[in-house]
Amino acid sequence: MRTCFPLLLLLLPVFVPGTVRSESCRFTLARLKYDGGGDWYANPSSLPNLVRETRARTAIPICDSVATVSIDDNRLFHYPFLYMTGHGNIHFTEQQRIRLRRYLIGGGFLWADDNYGMDESFRREIRLLFPENPLAELPSDHPIYKSAYTLPALPKIHEHDGEPSQGLGIYFENRLVVYYTFSSDIGDGMENLDVHKDGPVLHEAALKMAINILTYFFNP
């Protein structure tokens, strides 16, 4: 498969929870900044916590810092893994859709985590981005739920409307390019414990799921 990130993917090792991480920094997690009015910056402590725990628990050579990048940014293709979240509206221009699609089919990955409010606009945009490949729920035995930690299902951190948590994906040429966590609030769960007061059990479940997603990206 042709990829826009060949060197990075070849350099990264197999990751096992609890192994000693590499001292080199070859992978930077990036948060996607988008237009439309939604709070793309939500849960500010979540990704730093994920980075810290990924460095402590795995061999992923992840950098200490978290980048912020927009679709139009010249640096977009420097970051093979994008995370997006928020409560409100998302809007991509036609040019942004073309560029984001090129990024994804070229080897990039997008993890979208609904923070209770972006579902309608995200589904609208993703239909425009991949009209031929609709979002579909991943089965509970999908490798993403056991890539680092074996989890019975996508954790549910907050109740909200009482809907079950759902992990949905989009495949392109047999590769998962978009993973969407809905009615789950993994980002909330990864925040500092004093923010949402979810408790250590849910905090740990959220971190394990996020580490699974990162591990799966490099070892599908």
Per-residue pLDDT of the chain (220 residues; tens, 9 = 90+): 334 554 344 344 433 444 444 456 889 999 999 999 999 999 999 999 999 999 999 999 999 999 999 999 999 999 999 999 999 999 999 999 999 999 999 999 999 999 999 999 999 999 999 999 999 999 999 999 999 999 999 999 987 787 899 999 999 999 999 999 999 999 999 999 998 888 999 999 999 999 999 999 989 8
- Count of structural domains within the chain: 1
Is residue 11 situated within a structural domain? no
Closest CA to 32 of 98, 95, 123, 113: 113
Residue 89 covered by a domain: yes
Structural domain containing residue 76: 24-218
DSSP readout, 180-215?
EEES--HHHHHS-HHHH---HHHHHHHHHHHHHHHH
Kindly state the DSSP code that residue 146 receives in the 8-state scheme. T
- For residue 44, being part of any structural domain is answered with yes
CATH number at residue 31: 3.40.50.12140
**CB–CB of 157/184 below 8 Å?**
yes
* pLDDT at position 25: 86
Contact 220/107 with Cβ under 8 angstroms? no
Q: 70 with 21: CB under 8 angstroms?
A: no
Q: How far apart are CA 141 and CA 202, in angstroms?
A: 21
Q: What angle do CA 35, 39, 41 make, to 5 degrees?
A: 100
Reported pTM: 0.90
Which residue's entry shows tokens 């725990």? Answer: 53
Cβ(46)–Cβ(97) under 8 Å? no
Radius of gyration of the chain from its Cα atoms, rounded to whole angstroms = 16
